[in-house]
Structure 1
Amino acid sequence: MTTLDPARLRAYLTRVGIDAPARAERDALDALIAAQLAAIPFENIDPLLRRPVAIDADSVFDKLVTRARGGYCFELNTLLAAALEALGFRVTPLAARVRWQVPPDRLTLQTHMLLRVEAAHRSYIVDVGFGGPTPDRALPLDGERDDTRPYRLAAVPASAATGAYPAFDLEARGDGGWRQVYRFDLAPQHWLDFVPRNWYVATHPDSIFLRRLMVARTEGSTRLTLGDGEFAARAADGSVQRERLADAQAVLDVLDTRFGIVLDAASRAGLAQALPALLAGGRPA
């Protein structure tokens, strides 16, 4: 995979507001995860506006670092992986089937990218690209589990796994207990194989990325989310403050002030045009 050269690594670290760690260890990994979740938001504005999304290393760096935009899993995790490799971590891309808000009997495609990261002789799952329910730290694969935290990994029984590799569920704690976010196994993925997956989520008419504005960012211990006109701030204790944004201008203001998304004039105009239908419960033109 492609790593960041020294100049780009410095630019990335400046973008996320953190110094280069001295060693490739667990604490440094968690610090990098937290920094990127705070500085680079999840967002799907380009697919919503029917614009192509390139996930090669140069395009991702230009969009997320140079142009101060956000992105989704194929962009956010590609960038983090390149930075981690440059900092001495060993990274393997993995693929997951999304189960969040999906009926139990519905099979889904492997349309999500996550990362397996080796740090100080331990293996972790790392993901900065799911959106709202995104783990705020690395999750160890060796069975260690802290159920007081909002996210955990649950091993999938061999009888329920579909491949030769061990499988796991990422689960999030909510008001009704633990909820499945996605299922993945440890089969290493080729970066090239994410290209058609990205094409699907960015262009297929059934993709939610073409039907709904979705934005998320971490602010301190609070996870901020925006779904069309529904703005929410979920605190670490699980409490949620919600606000219904009145109009397109209010949404654009929140994207700027709370999510730090820098839109060029064309993107801002296109989104302003699409938002009235979204806020009314329809689909963008």
Structure 2
Amino acid sequence: MTPIDLQQYLQRIAFQQSLAPDLDTLSALVQKHTQTIPFENLDAYLGLPVELSTEVIQHKLVGQSRGGYCYEQNALFRSVLNAIGMQVTSLAARVRWGVPEEVETPASHMLLLVNLAGVDYLVDVGFGVTTPTAPLQLNKREVQVTPHGNYKITEQAGSYELAFQQADGWLTLYRFTLQPQQNADYKVFNWYVSTHPDSVFVKNLVAAKVIDERRYTLRNNELKCYRQGHPPQVTVLAGAEQIQTCLRDYFNITPPAGLYNKLVQLTEEQALLADAC
């Protein structure tokens, strides 16, 4: 694996404190990363290839100030932690958010397990609007409070489940085991989610980012703002220009070439659906 340019990454997230392979550093990096580098799927949405090499990911998320989805985000973060000297294991999860219990899902989400002084922490900087903004202790069964919401990890017969607390109860995000994954595994997963016509990332524009105490998510032309203990605020964007402005203002993303025309098509389709209703 090609080493990451650590200094360039630290400049990207405006990280100025000292580095050490400890929990304080890990927690600070997770916080800064999730508040700086947005979750987004613009390449897959535009039908462009999503490459997972260290060089390409660093150029895109760091050099070009873009964002990415789980494989890019967590691969970048894994490279950073490795460069600092942390012990990291790459895992895969089956997403359960919004999926009926009887529906099977593939192990298509990338997450990380970090061991510090004999304690395992779940680290995931690439799950969109409910991305944990702090490390979570793998073997702690009590509610774990983070700056942007409460989480709970349960385990049964080696199968773990991560849940997020909403106003009306707990929402299961995903299920996972501790079976290590290889880069080749993610290459297969990534090909599916970035090219299959049924993939949510092929059919929809998605972006998410933490700003101060709020979380923002954009799905097609609908912007939502989440704040702990409050119902989400929803704004429907009127057209392609408003969506591009939203990407700049809320997610700090410069819209790539070709996106405007795709968004014009999207807003026309949304208008037809509204008229049909």
The two structures have a TM-score, normalised by structure 2, of 0.92
Of 42, 55, 59, which aligns to 2:56?
Answer: 59
In structure 2, what is the Cα distance between the partners aligned to 1:147 and 1:57?
32
Give the equivalent residue in structure 2 for 1:162: none
Deviations 1:225-265 (A, max 9, x none): 1111111111133442221111111110010011001234x
Write out aligned runs for 1:24-35 (5 A).
Answer: 24-35=21-32
Give the equivalent residue in structure 2 for 1:191: 183
Runs of 4+ in 1 over 4 A off after TM superposition: none
Give the equivalent residue in structure 2 for 1:14: 11
Give the equivalent residue in structure 2 for 1:155: 154
Of 204, 229, 240, which aligns to 1:212?
Answer: 204
Deviations 1:115-136 (A, max 9, x none): 0011233110000111111111
Change (3 A) 1:280 1:111: farther
SS at match of 1:128: coil
* In the alignment, structure 1 residue 261 sits paired with structure 2 residue 253: yes
Q: Structure 1 residue 108: deviation in Å?
A: 0.3
Q: Structure 1 residue 274: deviation in Å?
A: 4.0
RMSD (Å) for aligned C-alpha atoms = 1.8
Checking the alignment, whether the CA contact within 8 Å between 2:162 and 2:172 is kept in structure 1 is yes
In structure 1, what is the Cα distance between the partners aligned to 2:150 and 2:91?
18
Change (3 A) 1:37 1:236: same
Of 160, 164, 172, which aligns to 2:164?
Answer: 172
In structure 2, what is the Cα distance between the partners aligned to 1:230 and 1:34?
25
In structure 2, what is the Cα distance between the partners aligned to 1:22 and 1:167?
33
Change (3 A) 1:100 1:177: same
| Structure 2 residue identity aligned to 1:272 | L
In structure 2, what is the Cα distance between the partners aligned to 1:65 and 1:279?
33
Stretches of structure 2 lacking an aligned partner (at least 5 in a row): none
Write out aligned runs for 1:35-114 (5 A).
Answer: 35-114=32-111
Stretches of structure 1 lacking an aligned partner (at least 5 in a row): 159-165
Give the equivalent residue in structure 1 for 2:225: 233
Deviations 1:72-114 (A, max 9, x none): 0000000001011111211110000000000110000011000
Deviating more after overlay: 271-280 vs 17-26: 271-280
In structure 1, what is the Cα distance between the partners aligned to 2:124 and 2:53?
18
Give the equivalent residue in structure 1 for 2:263: 272
Checking the alignment, whether the CA contact within 8 Å between 1:98 and 1:183 is kept in structure 2 is yes
In structure 1, what is the Cα distance between the partners aligned to 2:34 and 2:160?
23
Change (3 A) 1:243 1:269: closer
Deviating more after overlay: 113-122 vs 200-209: 113-122
Checking the alignment, whether the CA contact within 8 Å between 2:136 and 2:144 is kept in structure 1 is no
| Structure 2 residue identity aligned to 1:89 | M
Checking the alignment, whether the CA contact within 8 Å between 2:93 and 2:176 is kept in structure 1 is yes
How many residue pairs match? The answer is: 271
* In the alignment, structure 1 residue 121 sits paired with structure 2 residue 99: no
Deviations 1:55-79 (A, max 9, x none): 1111111110111111000000000
In structure 2, what is the Cα distance between the partners aligned to 1:19 and 1:148?
25
The two structures have a TM-score, normalised by structure 1, of 0.89
| Structure 1 residue identity aligned to 2:111 | L
SS at match of 1:250: helix
Deviations 1:199-224 (A, max 9, x none): 00000011011111110000012111
Checking the alignment, whether the CA contact within 8 Å between 1:151 and 1:170 is kept in structure 2 is no
SS at match of 1:132: helix
Q: Structure 1 residue 171: deviation in Å?
A: 0.3
Change (3 A) 1:98 1:15: same
